[in-house]
Amino acid sequence: MAKSDEGFGICINNKNLKKALTGMTIDYELDLHDLEKYYEQLVEFQLIVIIKDSKGNQYATTTQTIFNGESLVHGEL
């Protein structure tokens, strides 16, 4: 996970997401094409969301991660 100004996520502007997906294919013996389809479906159904930081970088993350980050900033957790 990479830290942006808005929270935590995997940067999709560089190769971090591709590296993470490739690692999962090795660890879980999955086909990369299938895993990319699963990722796209998670984004489509907003189980993974794309956020941007102030520098224009984009990150794949979850709403739960955003909630947790905001709660920490505001001292709620």
For 13-66, write each residue's pLDDT tens digit: 999 999 999 999 999 999 999 999 999 999 999 999 999 888 888 999 998 888
Residue that is written with structure tokens 């794949």 in the block: 60
Domain with 28, as residue range(s), is: 2-73
- pTM (predicted TM-score): 0.74
How many domains is the chain built from?
Answer: 1
* Residue, of 5 and 60, whose pLDDT is higher: 60
Residue 47 sits at φ, ψ, to 5 deg, of -80, -25
Please tell me the distance from the alpha carbon of residue 64 to that of residue 55, in angstroms, as a whole number: 23
Please tell me the distance from the alpha carbon of residue 63 to that of residue 52, in angstroms, as a whole number: 14
For residue 36, what pLDDT is reported?
Answer: 94
